[in-house]
Chain A
Amino acid sequence: MFAQIAFNGLVTGVIITLPALAVTLLFGVLKFPNFAIGGMMTVAAYMVFALNAQLGWPLVVAAAIVAVVFGGLSIVIDQLTFKPLRDRGGITLMVASLGLGLILENIARVFYGNAARSFAYELARPFRFLDIRMNREQMIAMIVAVVAMAAMYVLLTRMPIGRAMRAVADNPALALVRGIESPHIIRWTNFIAGVLLAIAGVLVGMDRALEPPVGNNYLVPVFAAAILGGLGSPLGAFAGALIIGLLSELSTLVIAPNYRIGVPLVVIALILVFRPQGLFGQPYIRK
């Protein structure tokens, strides 16, 4: 029983990893918490639903195409909404992102209503390993998330664009001196975040049912993971997500499952009081 719950927690954590990474990358470069990520996950998931369940494309193909398209779309969204507000301070951007999240969730609702839906793919029997029941969705989620994390690691540490992103996150002025232009990096960051969010949307829609609030329901755990790891730290987001996922599921042993969301909340509060920079973050210096 314990092992089963821990396994479920691990899967939840791995799924949260992707949006947490998106949050942390966006925060690093743009310096505001983007609350629109929930709505973005929802819209991307419904786009995949349209291609997969309605047009009958295989789920993998649909997800891959939507991931790339949605990467582009999130650049457009950023240009339309956040670019004009760029120098107005974090709160303004944050409020705008909250509004944007509501818009996106409700665009999905206008087209598909409130009914829960699911992607079209063959269901498989769950298999057992050491008394732990693993269903195929969980295995797929694990593999996809781990591959995406590995790709992100290579991108951020080995590729010029990833290093440039980290440079801009660290110090935009210094990055500019070295010839790294931040508008270019902002576009790339949004593209990568869009891809991550689209993949996360599909995984979340597979794990639970696909309905309009699906993305926004993950907002608190995702931000808890990003804060726990230290906002702006990619490695931290990964560790934070696993811890939040595990703690949330394990908490169901002692508290009612409905209040799982209380766990990330308590974690955020404790972190803010005792270790504001997060597990892996640098102490935040306001410039």
Chain B
Amino acid sequence: MISYLVLMGIVLCILAIVAVALNFQWGSGGMVNFGLAGFYTLGAYTCALLMLKAGGNTFFATLGAMTMVAAASALIALVTIRVTEEDYFAIVTLGAGEMLRLVSLNEDWLTNGALGLTGIPRPLASLVPFEYYHYFLLALGAVLLGGTVWLLQRIGRSPFGRIMRAVREDDVVAATLGKHVLWARVRIFAIGGAFIGLAGSLHAFYYQYIDPTQFSNIVIAYAFMSVIAGGRGALSGSILGAAFVMLLLEGSRFAKDLIPALSSDQLAAIRIIIIGVGLILVLIYRPQGFLREYRLQVDVASGKMKT
């Protein structure tokens, strides 16, 4: 039971990092990312390949994955140069994500196609005793999650954070005030992308084996569900949201006990249906989520900022 909780904890950390990164891009910056699954794939594969093919160590492979996803995200964000409607951008990201997934499936020479990559090294595997390794990975995941939230929150509360929210609310107003909207969008998407790359690297470390079937579009539903349940724009809320999604997912495992006739495919499908229905219900009945977005508040009496 304990080891089950530890493993769930690691998965939760990975999902929460994706959710926080999406919340940064979409919640704070107003940029919808329907290509999330593809960027996540790119992160995991870049990290794995840098170690397996280029002989890099785990640290540099992770940095490489973050850089790669950030660069790809920045490139995609450039299409908003003339059209700023979210609808169009959503479709572009959807297509880009699909392309990345296809590359992982079809470029056998690089990604080993449908067979996937095996034997992915793990960070500090020689130092940590094997029986404690999952505890170590959980701690690592938690630290990285904490670091991600801390850093992205810092950015969100900096002057750039105010530009982000201005661009989200009304890009014309932001442009009128002399803010470079395109450049802001590129940065928002790239920074969020870097952390999706981080989550992808953790995924590779945790599973040690990656293949294209692990990265279906369902990741998108999980991440959006986490962000919406946690509260759009409230970065730390996404951790709660991700925990909520995990609870739904793991809870639905017990559907197997209720209806033993279900096959594993059917069970997987039912879990996705539960997440999808949950997503729509939360959107309808609790659109504000668990936590609220940070707002700069000033105490009138002392003239100091409240935190």
Contacts and interface: CB of A to CB of B under 8 A. Distances in A.
B91 A268 contact: yes
Q: Tell me what chain B mostly uses at the interface: helix, strand, loop, or mixed.
A: helix
Given A94-B86, A98-B220, A102-B276, A33 B269 contact: no
Interface stretch (B94-102, B128-136, B141-149): B94-102
A98 B32 CA distance: 12
A64 to B, nearest CB: 29
Contacts of B280: 81, 96, 99-100, 103
Contacts of A99: 221, 224-225, 275-277, 279-280, 283
Contact of B224 (A95, A106, A220, A256): A95
- Which size class do A's interface residues fall under? 35 or more
B50 interface: no
A178 interface: no
A103 B276 contact: yes
Contacts of B87: 27, 32-33, 90, 94, 231
Q: Tell me what chain A mostly uses at the interface: helix, strand, loop, or mixed.
A: helix
Interface string A213-226: 00010011001100
Interface stretch (B8-16, B75-83, B154-162, B296-304): B75-83
A61 B104 CA distance: 42
A94 B105 CA distance: 28
Interface in A105-133: 106-107, 109-110, 113-114
A226 to B, nearest CB: 9
B154 to A, nearest CB: 25
B263 interface: yes
Given A100-B276, A259-B106, A265 B99 contact: yes
Nearest to B106: A258
Contacts of A33: 87, 90-91
B270 interface: yes
Given A98-B221, A259-B106, 5 more contacts: A88-B283, A90-B85, A98-B34, A261-B99, A272-B88
Interface of A: 27, 32-33, 35, 81, 84-85, 88, 90-92, 94-96, 98-100, 102-103, 106-107, 109-110, 113-114, 216, 219-220, 223-224, 227, 231, 256, 258-259, 261-262, 264-265, 268-269, 272-274, 276, 284, 286
